[in-house]
């Protein structure tokens, strides 16, 4: 389950997002009206910013966040809580009543069974711990176990989990998943786009390293270029933007 590939598979693909979210939420009549990958949530006052893998809105105004996580650390309960809270802040405007908060779904698809009960899906809502009555805050958190493998389970969810971990598009159950996977892995245009994406990500990492070294102020521009993988000219340009003089 490649998280970078999965983000691209969902990019500008409302039909696929709708299929996946219908199966994972159990809302069979869910109609997705908009969908965006790598949606930035940036807040003021020093709060931690996050970038959502996929954020979809349906015809009822519900907000659905889909996250693909290979690392167990990236799928902690508190991270799910933070995602849910950040979406609340993003979509409740100044002076709006709290009743206007949207119904939210934060869904983590994990490579391993991070909850450890060998179930395909784990669904969490707040409730009264004594009576079990629902709290009614319209916040839902879901973990989908990408490692689930039960040959006797013929549900759509089990088939979808299979497709998320399947290397060959010809062996996938769902045509929408297979078509998008085929495009990015086996067509010239799709492979070129993925290569460009990976190159951009590598360049971003180089810039992050260079900025840290420049701000530390202990290395020369030549040393920073060597350590970061950027050209000397790129390092000098970064330094000029940051108004940093050479060490």
In this prediction the pTM is: 0.80
Q: pLDDT by residue (tens digit) across 22-40?
A: 999 999 999 999 999 988 8
Residue 12: CB atoms within 10 Å = 10
- Predicted pLDDT of residue 218: 83
Per-residue confidence at 82, pLDDT binned at 50, 70, 90?
Answer: very high
- Predicted pLDDT of residue 44: 57
Q: Is the pLDDT of residue 100 over 60?
A: yes
**165 burial via Cβ count (<10 Å: 0-12, 13-18, 19+):** middle
| C-alpha distance across the termini of the chain, in Å | 43
Can you list the positions of beta strands (E) in the chain? Answer: 32-41, 50-58, 63-69, 104-110, 121-124, 139-145
Q: Is the pLDDT of residue 127 over 60?
A: yes
**Average pLDDT, whole number, for the chain?**
90
Say if CB 38 and CB 51 are below 8 A apart: yes
* Residue 156 to residues 73, 109, 134, 163, 180, Cα–Cα distance (Å): 28, 15, 27, 10, 18
Say if CB 64 and CB 105 are below 8 A apart: yes
- Predicted pLDDT of residue 4: 77
Q: To the nearest whole percent, how much of the chain has pLDDT over 90?
A: 63
Q: Is the pLDDT of residue 247 over 70?
A: no
- Predicted pLDDT of residue 203: 75
Q: For the chain, give every domain's residue range.
A: 3-186, 200-242
């Amino acid at each position: 389950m490649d998280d970078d590939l999965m983000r691209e598979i969902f990019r500008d693909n409302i039909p696929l997002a709708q299929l996946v979210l219908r199966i994972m939420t159990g809302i069979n009549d869910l109609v997705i009206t908009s969908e965006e990958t790598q949606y930035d949530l940036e807040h003021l006052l020093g709060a931690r910013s996050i970038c959502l893998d996929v954020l979809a809105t349906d015809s009822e105004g519900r907000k659905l966040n889909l996250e693909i996580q290979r690392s167990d650390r990236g799928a902690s309960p508190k991270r799910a809580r933070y995602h849910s809270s950040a979406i609340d802040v993003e979509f409740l405007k100044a002076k709006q009543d709290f009743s206007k908060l949207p119904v939210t779904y934060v869904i983590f698809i994990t490579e391993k069974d991070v909850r450890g009960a060998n179930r395909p899906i784990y669904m969490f809502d707040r409730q009264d711990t004594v009576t079990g009555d629902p709290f009614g805050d319209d916040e839902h958190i879901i973990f989908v176990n990408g490692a689930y493998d039960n040959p006797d389970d013929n549900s759509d969810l089990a088939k979808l989990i299979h497709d998320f971990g399947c290397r060959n598009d010809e062996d996938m159950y769902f045509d929408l998943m297979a078509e998008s996977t085929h495009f990015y892995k086996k067509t010239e245009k799709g492979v070129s786009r993925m290569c460009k994406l990976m190159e951009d990500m590598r360049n971003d990492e180089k810039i992050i390293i260079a900025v840290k070294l420049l701000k530390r102020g202990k290395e020369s521009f030549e040393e920073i270029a060597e350590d970061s993988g950027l050209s000397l000219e790129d390092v000098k340009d970064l330094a000029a933007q940051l108004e940093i003089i050479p060490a």
